[in-house]
Chain A
Amino acid sequence: MTAALLDVDHVGMIHSVGGLLTRRAIRAVDDVSLRLEAGTPEILAVIGESGSGKTTLARMILNLAIPTTGAIRFLGTDVTRIRSRRERMAFMRQVQPIFQNPFEAFNPLKRIDRYLFMSARRFAGVRDRVDIEARADKALRQVGLSLAEVKGRYPHELSGGQLQRIAIARALIPAPALIVADEPVSMVDASLRMSIVNLFKALRDELEVSIVYITHDLATAYYISDRVLIMRRGKVVESGNTRAVLDDPRHPYSILLKDAVLSPEDAGKP
């Protein structure tokens, strides 16, 4: 069997809280396993309410948090064993994050193009100014923008939708194999949301990037993801093919989640 792109193997994250006598353990993530195969790009949605551990799971996959139990292997190597800067850079080149709030992801005092240039210099290994700009422009074109529109501008001059596209473009510069997107559209306006969601589909289909899509929105998960993982209180309660799971959820919590979705089609019903 060949090494999986991402193999999350029975991971857990336990925080201990309280004082000497009242100490108790909180299992933020409890025995979660998932696997993304190399060579078959797919979008895996991780759904759950706040506090279900989905962001902690994302942070562990990104190697921003170290699991207390279990292992996370990326192309066969255990990410928690990464020690040297060289290994870390190699890992970051392959696995890139996109965060929830595009307004907070960028420093307001820095020009936005600096992020793109920095990523190009660090991860794509280009040194020459012209090459760096060409690399940034290419990434921006993949998300429907261009360097000419963005160059020299500060975050406040751009809309949330544009900023989120730029965040995605930045993540694309190193040509990663995996993108971990934590609630990437929840802060984006309704009229722009679908263009970002469609962009993720295009990344999978055209650039063959696998995506871990973390969300609480069942409708967009249904729309773009191939597989789904429903989490509650750190545990996976149901997983499988997105359509199969969401069309006919079996676990009581999944049923509750699905029933709680409010749809415009309900207008006029009592």
Chain B
Amino acid sequence: MSAAAPATERVLTVRELNACYRTRHFGARREVRAVDGISLHVDRNELYGLAGESGCGKTTLVKTIVRGIRPPLAVAGGAVTFRFAGRDRDIYALEQRELENIRWRHLSYIPQGSMNVLNPVRQLRQSFVDFAYPRIGRPMPEFLQQVESHLDRLRLEPAVLDSYPHQLSVGMRQRVTIALASICRPDFIAADEPTSALDVVVQNEVLGLLHDVQQEIRSSMILVTHDIGVHANVTDRLGIMYAGRLVEEGRTVEVIRNPRHPYTSHLVTSLPRIGDRTQKRGLDGAPPNLADPPPGCRFHPRCPLATAACRAEAPPLVEVAPGHRVACWVTAPPRSPATVQ
């Protein structure tokens, strides 16, 4: 935890965010709501984790947060506010030019599979120049010096700058993209599945690097991965998504040690471990189709605890302990009617 930070400052505030994919085929409109009324915040120097299975909307949420959206994905409501250099900036109210100024310098986004974006026919040094030189605004020798010392601080050989992407392993390429995303010392980094394509040993090196980046430039981070083991080891707080909604959120230790939502409990307890051969079970049914989600709580068709209330109405996200929010009628019933929306 970041005990050194004086007072917690909210770098990112997301309020009631809705985003959907709108498509039209032969006049028939279809709307897939991939992010449904999500509110969350990230403090300065905090590592916020997002977990959930594929198709639950975690990538869409991150794209929406960094305004990396293009049709058919559109924002249908809510607000995303960043606090950079003491100023609140509503990212959807910014002009294109202001957005350009914020990107890289204040806000970096490492999309899924980003290790494959490096230009294959240019040395990595050139990629750093292409991406970051215009943003830093220093003379070239000084800029290259800065790149080298940045790599050095992240314990990467500055010699990699002389190689071409194909000469490096996937893990090394991913570390270079992370170095690239952090070269301008952004206040906020969003990383989408940065370790999913990697082996366990390499995964640890990349996670170590993300940790170093955060320590070194004291930025805040959103880390998306479906791997609960990764969250347990690196993130400070954890949000669990299911079918476009946040179903549980709290300090990572709390959420994993003491899960309150039945879906989280399943995610945590169903994982096999070395040294444990007890029978584990998968969940029945399949993740819901977001074009036609089930009514009420979206987890109810697969939930062992489902009641009539779960089928009728979606549970609100309520605070069950300080900083620990859960959306479930059974395990976290709202205490007073006032909290029900």
Question: A: which residues have CB within 8 A of B?
Answer: 49-50, 159-162, 189-198, 216, 218-220, 222-223, 243, 246-247, 256-258, 260-268
Contacts and interface: CB of A to CB of B under 8 A. Distances in A.
A247 B277 CA distance: 12
Contact of A191 (B170, B274, B287): B287
B266 A191 contact: yes
Nearest to A199: B282
Contacts of A263: 229, 232, 271, 273
B116 interface: no
Most-contacted residue by chain B among A161, A218, A258, A267 (CB, 10 A): A267
Nearest to B51: A190
Top 9 A-B residue pairs of the complex, sorted by shortest distance between their CB atoms? A195-B282, A262-B229, A223-B272, A268-B253, A189-B53, A194-B282, A267-B232, A49-B199, A260-B200
A258 to B, nearest CB: 7
B204 interface: yes
B256 to A, nearest CB: 4
A50 B284 CA distance: 31
B330 interface: no
Interface string B281-301: 111101100000000000000
B232 A265 contact: yes
B280 interface: yes
B8 interface: no
B233 A218 contact: no
A257 B232 contact: no
A247 B275 contact: yes
B270 A256 contact: no
A223 B275 contact: no
Contact of B274 (A190, A216, A219, A268): A219
A260 B203 CA distance: 8
Most-contacted residue by chain B among A191, A246, A247, A256 (CB, 10 A): A191
A260 B201 contact: yes
B278 to A, nearest CB: 9
B286 A192 contact: yes
24 contacts: A50-B199, A189-B53, A189-B226, A191-B267, A191-B270, A192-B286, A194-B280, A194-B281, A198-B279, A198-B282, A218-B200, A219-B271, A219-B273, A223-B272, A260-B201, A261-B229, A262-B200, A262-B204, A262-B230, A263-B229, A265-B232, A265-B273, A267-B233, A268-B252
Contacts of A256: 201
Contact of B286 (A50, A162, A190, A265): A162
Nearest to A191: B283
A46 to B, nearest CB: 14
Interface of B: 53-55, 170, 199-204, 226-233, 252-253, 256-257, 263, 266-268, 270-277, 279-284, 286-287, 302
B53 to A, nearest CB: 4
A197 B272 contact: yes
Contact of A192 (B170, B253, B282): B282
A196 B284 CA distance: 11
Nearest to B199: A49
Contacts of A162: 286
Nearest to A161: B286
Contact of B54 (A189, A195, A218, A222): A189
A216 B195 CA distance: 14
B14 to A, nearest CB: 24
B270 A190 contact: yes
Contacts of B201: 49, 256-257, 260
Contacts of A216: 199-200
Nearest to A216: B199
A190 B267 contact: yes
Contacts of A198: 279-282
Contact of A264 (B200, B256, B280): B256
Contacts of B274: 218-219, 222, 246-247, 258, 261
A192 B283 contact: yes
A189 B51 CA distance: 12
A256 B55 CA distance: 33
Nearest to B195: A262
Contacts of A268: 252-253, 257
Contacts of B276: 222-223
Contacts of B302: 191
Given A260-B201, A261-B229, A267-B232, A194 B270 contact: yes
A264 B271 contact: yes
A260 B232 CA distance: 13
Nearest to B252: A267
B267 A160 contact: no
Nearest to A219: B272
B17 to A, nearest CB: 24
Nearest to A52: B199
Contacts of B268: 264
A112 to B, nearest CB: 15
